[in-house]
Amino acid sequence: MLRSALLSAARSPALRSAAEHSTLARPIVHRFVAGDQLDSALTVARELVADRLVSMDHLGENTENRAQAEETTQAYLTLLGRLDDEGLADRVEVSVKLSALGQSLPGDGQSLATDNAARICARAAGAGTTVTVDMEDHTTTDATLETVRTLRRDWPGTGAVLQAYLRRTEADCVNLAGPGSRVRLCKGAYDEPSSVAFRERSEVDASYRRCLDALMAGQGYPMVATHDPALIDHADRLAQGTDREFEFQMLYGVRPEEQRRLAARGSRMRVYLPYGSAWFPYFMRRLGERPANVMFFLRSFTSRH
C-alpha cells in the first residue's frame, strides 16, 4: 500500500516540482544522490573507485520535449568527456534511461532515444568505457530491449537490465545469456499490475533465483544488482568452484558496509551513482523500497520545524 502510494506520488509533476525546489529534503536525498552537479558527483566517484567500480546516472526520466532529450544527451557527453580526461573511464561506466533521451515522446520518440543512446555509446567507447540501459516500467520493456539489440551491433558491451518481478523475465534471461552479453538483473522498482508482474515478495525472490540461475549458466556477464543477503549468497553458491565472471551491483547509499565487505574479499562490486537536480522520482522509488526510509525522511522535516 505504502509503496504503491509513494510510486504514484513519484509520477506527480506538482509534487516533483515542489520537492526538487525545496531545500528541506536535501540532507536525506543526498544519502542516495551524489549532489545536483557533475563536480560533486565526480568527487564521490573518485572516492568510490578506490575499492569499487561505479556506474554514473544523470538523473531524469520521461522527458517532455526534444530540447530536454538533447540536454540530457549533452549532459552524458560532458560526463563521459570528464571521465576520459580524469582517467576514470576504466572504473566508471554510465547508466542511461531511454525515457530521458526521448523514448516517451510521441511520433519518433523511440528512434530519437535510440539515436541519442548511440551518440552516448560512441563517446563511451571513445573513452574506453561502457553504457548500461536502465529498464523502466513494463510498457517500455520490448522497445528498450529492441534499442539495446540495435546498440549492441556497434557496441557489443552495451548492458541490458532485466527485472525479476516481471513474469516474462526468466525467458528474457535465457534469450540474453549469449556470449558477451552484459545483463544487470534487479528485482524491479515500479508499481506493476499482477497481470505482468509477481507482486508477492517471495514470488519475486524465487523468480530472481531462477533468472540468476539462467544468467549464470549462460555465456554472458551477469551483473547481480541486489542488496538482498539471501540473493547475494545464492550468487556466491552458483559461482563457487567455477571461474565464472560476474559482478555485484548496489545503489549509492544502500548497504555501503556490505559493498566494502564484498570489494575487500575480492568480488567485483559496482555502485550505481545518480546525480542531478531531477532526483524526485528516483528518490521516491528508494523510499518505497524500505518503510524505514520514509520515517527517516519525515523526521528530517519535523526536526527542522
Q: How many helices (H) and strands (E) does the chain have?
A: 13, 8
C-alpha cell at 133: 540501459
| Site of grid cell 513494463 | 138
Q: Which is nearer to ligand FAD, 91 or 227 (CB)?
A: 227
Residue closer to ligand FAD by CB (options 66, 152) is 152
Counting contacts by CB under 6 A, is residue 135 touching ligand FAD?
yes
- d(CA 159, CA 75) in angstroms, rounded, equals 20
Q: For residue 184, give every residue at least 6 positions away whose Cβ sits within 8 Å of its Cβ, in sequence order, or none.
A: 132, 159, 160, 161, 162, 223, 225, 249
| Binder of ligand FAD out of 163, 169, 181, 267 (CB under 6 A) | 163
CA distance 49 to 218: 29
106 CB neighbour count, 10 Å cutoff: 5
Task: Draw the binding track, 190-219, toward ligand FAD (x: CB under 6 A; -: no contact).
Answer: x-----------------------------
> Under 8 Å CB-to-CB from 191, ≥6 apart: which residues?
3, 4, 7, 8
**Residue of 57, 134, 191, 205 marked catalytic:** 134
Binding ligand FAD (rule: CB under 6 A), the pick from 28, 176, 214, 225 is: 225
Name the residue among 61, 67, 142 with its Cα closest to residue 104.
61
Residue 84 falls in the annotated catalytic set: no
Site stretch for ligand FAD (CB under 6 A), options 10-18, 77-85, 235-243, 284-292: 284-292
Q: Number of residues in contact with ligand FAD, rule: CB under 6 A?
A: 24
Mask of contacts with ligand FAD, 169-188, x by CB under 6 A? ---------------x-xxx
Active site residue 134: yes
Nearer to ligand FAD, 67 or 185 (CB): 185
Extract the C-alpha cell encoding 43: 568527487
Binding stretches for ligand FAD (CB under 6 A): 134-135, 161, 163, 184, 186-190, 225-228, 249-251, 254-255, 272, 286, 289-290, 293
